Amino acid sequence: MKVGMYYNNNDVRVEEMPIPEISDDEILVKTIASGICGSDVMEWYRIKKAPIVLGHEIAGIIDKAGKNVKNFKVGDRVFVSHHVPCLKCYYCENGHETACETLHKTNFFPGGYSEYIRIPKINIELGTFKLPDNMSFDEGTFIEPLACIIRGQRVADLNKDDALLVIGSGISGLMHIALAKSKGVKKIIATDINDFRLNSAKKFGADLVLNATDNLDEKIREFNDGRLPDLVIVCTGSLIAAKQALKLVDKGSRILFFAVPKPDEKLEVPINDFWRNEVKVMTSYGAAPRDLKEAIELISEKKLDLNDMITHKLKFEDIGKGFKLVAEAKDSIKVIVEMDE
């Protein structure tokens, strides 16, 4: 079978691997569509494991099923999560499923950028979902990233009366904007340094878009009755953006780091000011089964239409081009690699 082997952002090769063999407790999924995630092009994060087959935003069809598999059959259209929690440990039982050790150790093989994927038993039980009949495979690639957005906004306790600032209007920022809009949030502000993405932010629900090089403090206060935002969500790993977030949050408000700077980049938090003004700093990571179920419902019930975020659909042979598009972050939003059905 063909796989997209990652060496670095500028070197993703189509190579051959044997189709995985499955046990009686596993399934083999034929990949139909696979989205390229922004985290896939975080080179500092990925290159230490290269060469590797990445990809986790997948939708496909069950090609084989072990004799012990009960709830799925050959021909089922499915989404599969690559990481799953145990749902039994202290962290899972207290709502921190993505801190679960099991979640960080589980995965399917070899990765989403391959023609076939072997799905282990635990991923079948806790991370495999049938696609609703009205959901396309392309829409299925939004399930995992949308679930991460849902989790982030729950962690940050976003409500419709908040003035929300989204820093970074790439795919995750745009999905935060779209989800917030669907919840009735009345004031949504978006920033970026790219005009294409700022225009996209406006299209998907931002009430005010600002170039990140503008005088953000002044313009946000003009828009928000003299106040800074109630919630700032950081959706870019830029250290400059992270520093901006620390300066653009109102007293008594919150910052959610949905994306973070590189490990060797130090972010100094003005803890004395935050202590005095009761500012909360939070993070969110990944998605749990409950988040995935909610994402499937939102997409299938058409409460959130994300199709217009798809800017590029590429053949598998062009996967290297897809990585470059996402890494360059210019005129692309959602990039999908499509296999032959």
Alpha-carbon dihedral angle through residues 183, 186, 187, 191, given to the nearest 10 degrees: 40
Residue 224: per-residue pLDDT: 98
pLDDT class of 339 with cuts at 50, 70, 90? confident
Residue 265: per-residue pLDDT: 96
Q: Residue 191: left (phi > 0), alpha (psi -120 to 50), or beta?
A: beta
pLDDT class of 164 with cuts at 50, 70, 90? very high
Residue 305: per-residue pLDDT: 86
- Hey, do 2-146+286-338 and 157-283 end up sharing a CATH topology, with the first three levels equal? no
Residue 149: per-residue pLDDT: 98
Query: Which residues have C-beta within 8 Å of that of residue 271, sequence separation ≥ 6?
Result: none
- Helices 171-182 and 195-203 cross at an angle (nearest 10°) of 20
Residue 337: per-residue pLDDT: 97
Q: Rounded CA gap, 257 and 281, in Å?
A: 8
Q: Rounded CA gap, 96 and 90, in Å?
A: 9
Residue 110: per-residue pLDDT: 98
Residue 236: per-residue pLDDT: 96
Alpha-carbon dihedral angle through residues 219, 222, 228, 231, given to the nearest 10 degrees: -80
What are the structural domain ranges in the chain? 2-146+286-338, 157-283
For 2-24, what is the mean pLDDT? 97
Whole-number percent of the chain with pLDDT over 70: 100
For 63-81, what is the mean pLDDT? 98
- Flag whether pLDDT at 341 surpasses 70: no
- Flag whether pLDDT at 43 surpasses 80: yes
- Flag whether pLDDT at 326 surpasses 90: yes
Domain 157-283 superfamily per CATH: NAD(P)-binding Rossmann-like Domain (3.40.50.720)
For 275-290, what is the mean pLDDT? 98
Residue 340: per-residue pLDDT: 72
- Flag whether pLDDT at 283 surpasses 70: yes
pLDDT class of 106 with cuts at 50, 70, 90? very high
User: What architecture does CATH give domain 2-146+286-338?
Assistant: Alpha-Beta Complex (3.90)
Residue 285: per-residue pLDDT: 97
- Flag whether pLDDT at 24 surpasses 70: yes
Give the bridge partners for 109, in sequence order: 118
